[in-house]
Amino acid sequence: MTTVAESIAGALYKSGCIKFGTFQIKSGATSPYYIDMARLLSSPKELCLIAQAAADKIKEIMVSERLDKVASIELKGALIVPSIACKVNLPCIIIRKEAKAYGVTGRIAGADVGKGENVLFFDDVVSEGLSKVEGVKPLQELGANVKHLLVVVNREQGGKENLEKMGFQVHALAKVSDIVDVLYRTKNISKTQADAVLAYIKK
């Protein structure tokens, strides 16, 4: 039986979302791999697979807790979250990185944020966790309760642990070490590429 990590690894690889080489990331550091979740838009089958895996995790949470809405921040997470929202039948909120100055102004697009509502925040990856804190802030300022954070990939750079210390519950569909292990076992990447990623996350 295929595990969730195997399914996610296959979808990211087939769609070209995960790349290996030398990449400069947001912090300015270099990374031996890069995940560009926007590539899922070119692969409908893989997009649906990841959306379904995320929906399954949300349904699992909903067995014991009420969730009213799902939210994400532009760009990468916001491209995927509507597909997830359809599968769990929850309204969807998109948070703009900057407030819109014309038309419907502000940072919130899509569903309204109600005071006291339980909102799950979705994003593509978690690294150190700082961007997630910024992402949920507009929801919290409008009175929403944001307890659960869901990402496709945990980059294993301390973000999950940092966020959990702040009181969030962080769920990841897969860890990057598991993805790399699957891709190496299925001969999609070399031992050198796999070792480079594993050494990077152990820094």
Q: What is the pLDDT of residue 105?
A: 59
Q: What is the pLDDT of residue 141?
A: 93
**pTM assigned to the model:** 0.93
Tokens standing for residue 79: 């491209």
**Is residue 47 helix, strand or coil?**
helix
Q: What is the pLDDT of residue 20?
A: 96
pLDDT in tens, 37-52: 999 999 999 999 999 9
Q: What is the pLDDT of residue 28?
A: 77
Query: Is 63 in contact with 111 (CB distance < 8 Å)?
Result: no
pLDDT in tens, 61-116: 999 999 999 999 988 899 999 999 999 999 999 998 777 666 665 788 888 999 99
Characterize the bridge pairing of strands 69-73 and 92-100.
parallel
Taking 80 as the threshold, does the pLDDT of residue 203 lie above it?
A: no
Q: What is the pLDDT of residue 134?
A: 87
d(CA 93, CA 65): 19
Q: What is the pLDDT of residue 102?
A: 66
pLDDT in tens, 168-197: 999 999 999 999 999 999 999 999 999 999
